[in-house]
Structure 1
Amino acid sequence: MTDQNSTALKSTTIPSFDYEDVKAAHARIRDRIVQTPTLKSITLSEMAGAEVFLKFENLQFTAAYKERGALNALLLMDESKRQAGVIAASAGNHAQGLAYNAKNLGIPATIVMPSTTPMVKVEQTRGHGAEIVIFGGNYDESYAHALELAEQRGLTYIHAFDDPHVAAGQGTVAIEMLEQVPDLNRLIIPIGGGGLCSGMATAAHAINPDIKITGVQAALYPSMYGKLKGEEVTAGGDTLAEGIAVRNPSEFTAAIIKEHVDEILLVGEAQLEEAVSLLLQIEKTVVEGAGAAGLAALLANKEKFAGEKVGLILCGGNIDTRLLANVLLRDLARSGRLARLRLHLRDQPGALYNVVREFAEHEVNIIEVYHQRVFTNLPAKGLITDIECEAKDREQLEGLIVALNKSGYDVRQVELAD
């Protein structure tokens, strides 16, 4: 579970929040963070049919924009609260951003993490000097425990998104983007709990009232989408965009997003995987699923954004290396460059040799071969053979499949789920 999968803090009134808060935050934090570049991608622009500009927030020290909001909130604390320390429940980027900046300011930090948190994230956060408390099997349990510890120890709780000071810090991304590329006419912003989008949209509309704002959520977690439409939605499942996997966004951020955001688009897992892969291949930059959500939405809705000057936020780069490897391999499979072909053969000498000869004639490289003789519904003299192979493109692969079928083999491609 990620740090946002909770029932967000509820307030009886919505806190006041405007552009002055974001401007003040920018003046406060700008010399303590990386003012990341906003660069045009020529290749992605050609693919999308729009001018595409990327804001590289994955170049922050902790590889995510979350540092901005955490730092702003810490700097606004009075001295007595700083001495007592801060606490948060988090299994992701908020944990690292808060721990890193608290350490730099000499503020004790405690982070409560669910037992399901990957050890690499635990150790990265501990490496920033925070006290780590492992509690609960999910974020909600960790969050409740963090509030108890805050009460017991007199600590200040810093929420990942339901906090005007945090949202103001996140909004500084928009100020920098529009300083760097003043004539952007649309921003596409990932939405989880809504801290980034609410802060950026507030700033962007103050700077340019005509700019269009599009939010994007993972289709498995359409919580803000449903909230603003007044629809009951189901949020849950294993999404690549875990950084925006939020079941319950806050009333505070929802009110701002309702005012400033033109629409919210949903993207599927295959679209997120493709976007992560494209950013690595084309821009040579590593992003997590949430960081690729804007590009996924852009490429899935080209007609909507055609001819526009679009700003995308690569909001984080903290993706597990094994997961990244899987994403890249799956993208190769979807493009037809990597495939698994399943064939029914007779269990007799030369059967596999004849199949391999077809692969050689079509210059398709064999990577792995798997035989299955027992657990099949074929006769005793039959077997199933799975062959993983590599082709230069889909056309070459399809040519091989046609040739195998003409030679009398029962062959099919094992497809990936969409």
Structure 2
Amino acid sequence: MLNFNEIQKAKERLNDVTKKTNLIYSQVFSNECNNEVYIKPENLQLTGAYKLRGAYNKISKLSDEERQKGLIASSAGNHAQGVAYAAKKLGAKATIVMPKSTPIIKVESTKKLGADIILEGECYDEAYAKARQLEEQEGYTFIHPFNDLDIIAGQGTIGIEILEENKDIDYVLVPIGGGGLISGIATAVKHIKPSIKVIGVEPIGAMAMKKSIENGKLIELDSVKTIADGVAVKRPGDIPFSIVKKYVDDIITISEYEIMEAFLLLLENHKMVGENAGVLSLAASKKLNVKNKKIACVISGGNIDVLTISTLINRGLVTRGRIYCFSVELPNTPGELNKISKILSDLNANVIKFEHNRYVTYDRLTNVKLEATIETSGKEHIELINKKLKEIGLEVKTVH
């Protein structure tokens, strides 16, 4: 098990290296869950994610001989940048094996920090196998992203910072991939304040830690499927698993839609970008069955490419009911489209697109199909629009 003193020593090593990411009170997420929510924005860290903490702590403790061998790591992106940054600062050469699915921004950012990149496999675990193979062949020093006590100690410095800034925090919500982040944070906060609750968060398509805890042993998933690439891990580490068993109070699972919704709320209200894995804690904040508690949500990273951001915004708008697409059949007579337009105008709905098609209805001689995409203020607004359309005799079908 990790000793709290090692986390304190890691904090001293990192004082002049990492950026202190102060807690940000969130009115919007507080309103969503009827608690007092504070964001721990590790997406604002120097490399865009918390991983720099563990990587630097680990590499700074290596001997000169170990560093001179060259470093190798496997990563879905954020650990890669942490290792590359630390290696450059400490005078070592780094090679990173990344899954082929890694977002381009993470690959390019790691290259800019001076690391050599190898793309291998469809998920983290396949990249990990390749990195271990190269470690044996080339004699590199392997820097594990989560199954290492020095890495975990570095990540645990986040827990110390949270309680130094607000000692009254009742809950800490933390994303889980391999388990290194939550292991470090849980060790730190439980030592400082034993009454605090630590809640892990995993996407439904990659809940390896939750299944492992439920089965009382490490479980390797057959496959992972999630938009949260940073936590797409088939098998957690055995060291984090043992710490999670001891210190973590619960693990919440989150759907892809809940991830998109949290991403949009963070972007729109805090003007802040969190990657899909990074916003898991925010998505989980409204799934806690508690009220009037002080909750710290760790945003683990913000490294995400622009095309993915665009997709998430659009899907998030649909999930929140801000974009609504519906279809109705109208009599093929003059003035029918104007009736729809007037209802939408009177209800302050903004029309994005109308598609008026007479060839797709059952009775195309007398009816036409109208598919409308509109901008609304939310789900209650949609209900009001549907009610008014039904009042004039239309059957409304939701497209999305």
Q: Same fold (TM over 0.5)?
A: yes
Alignment pair present for 1:319 and 2:304:
yes
Residues 222 and 233, structure 1, Cα contact 8 Å, conserved in 2: no
Corresponding letter in the other structure for 1:107: A
Specify the alignment match of 1:7 in structure 2. Answer: none
Specify the alignment match of 2:260 in structure 1. Answer: 273
Determine what percentage of the aligned residue pairs are the same residue.
38
Q: Which of 241, 249, 263 is 1:262 aligned to?
A: 249
Q: How far, CA to CA, are the matches of 1:391 and 1:84 in structure 2? A: 59
Specify the alignment match of 2:324 in structure 1. Answer: 339
Would you say how many aligned residue pairs link Structure 1 and Structure 2? 397
Q: Which of 213, 225, 234 is 1:228 aligned to?
A: 213
Partner-residue secondary structure (3-state), 1:368:
strand
Alignment pair present for 1:49 and 2:34:
yes
Cα distance change on mapping 1:265 and 1:362 into 2, 3 Å: closer
Residues 252 and 284, structure 2, Cα contact 8 Å, conserved in 1: yes
CA deviation string 1:33-59 (max 9, x = no partner):
111112333443344332222211111
Q: How far, CA to CA, are the matches of 1:332 and 1:142 in structure 2? A: 34
Unaligned runs of 5+ in 2: none
Q: How far, CA to CA, are the matches of 2:335 and 2:24 in structure 1? A: 57
Q: How far, CA to CA, are the matches of 2:51 and 2:65 in structure 1? A: 24
Specify the alignment match of 1:119 in structure 2. Answer: 104
CA deviation string 1:117-170 (max 9, x = no partner):
333322111111111122334433322222222222211111111111111111
Residues 125 and 233, structure 2, Cα contact 8 Å, conserved in 1: no
Residues 359 and 365, structure 1, Cα contact 8 Å, conserved in 2: yes
CA deviation string 1:354-378 (max 9, x = no partner):
543443344422111234555x462
CA deviation string 1:198-242 (max 9, x = no partner):
111111122222222222211222211111111779675542332
Unaligned runs of 5+ in 1: 1-15
Specify the alignment match of 2:372 in structure 1. Answer: 387
Cα distance change on mapping 1:336 and 1:187 into 2, 3 Å: closer
Moved more, 90-99 or 385-394: 385-394
Specify the alignment match of 1:378 in structure 2. Answer: 362
Q: How far, CA to CA, are the matches of 1:148 and 1:122 in structure 2? A: 21
Alignment pair present for 1:241 and 2:233:
no
Q: How does 1:3-402 map to 2 (within 5 A)?
A: 16-230=1-215, 236=223, 238-301=225-288, 304-345=289-330, 352-372=337-357, 376=360, 378-381=362-365, 382-402=367-387
Corresponding letter in the other structure for 2:170: N
C-alpha root-mean-square deviation of aligned residues, in Å?
2.4
Moved more, 292-301 or 342-351: 342-351
CA deviation string 1:85-134 (max 9, x = no partner):
11112232111111122112221111112333333322111111111122
TM-score by length of 2: 0.91
Residues 105 and 304, structure 2, Cα contact 8 Å, conserved in 1: no
Q: How far, CA to CA, are the matches of 2:379 and 2:188 in structure 1? A: 45
Partner-residue secondary structure (3-state), 2:303:
coil
Partner-residue secondary structure (3-state), 1:312:
strand
CA deviation string 1:250-280 (max 9, x = no partner):
1111001101111112222222222222222
1:411 Cα deviation after fit = 2.5
1:388 Cα deviation after fit = 0.7
1:351 Cα deviation after fit = 5.0
Cα distance change on mapping 1:356 and 1:309 into 2, 3 Å: closer
Partner-residue secondary structure (3-state), 2:279:
helix
TM-score by length of 1: 0.87
Corresponding letter in the other structure for 1:378: Y
Residues 81 and 109, structure 2, Cα contact 8 Å, conserved in 1: yes
Residues 277 and 327, structure 1, Cα contact 8 Å, conserved in 2: yes
Q: How far, CA to CA, are the matches of 1:353 and 1:235 in structure 2? A: 54
Partner-residue secondary structure (3-state), 1:247:
coil
Corresponding letter in the other structure for 2:263: V
Specify the alignment match of 1:404 in structure 2. Answer: 389
Cα distance change on mapping 1:392 and 1:211 into 2, 3 Å: closer
Q: How far, CA to CA, are the matches of 2:211 and 2:256 in structure 1? A: 19
Q: How far, CA to CA, are the matches of 2:338 and 2:291 in structure 1? A: 51
Q: How far, CA to CA, are the matches of 1:394 and 1:145 in structure 2? A: 47
Residues 92 and 121, structure 1, Cα contact 8 Å, conserved in 2: yes
Corresponding letter in the other structure for 1:37: N
Corresponding letter in the other structure for 1:289: N
Cα distance change on mapping 1:193 and 1:352 into 2, 3 Å: same
CA deviation string 1:287-341 (max 9, x = no partner):
122222222222122xx33222222211111223333333333333334332111
Corresponding letter in the other structure for 2:190: H
Cα distance change on mapping 1:235 and 1:54 into 2, 3 Å: farther
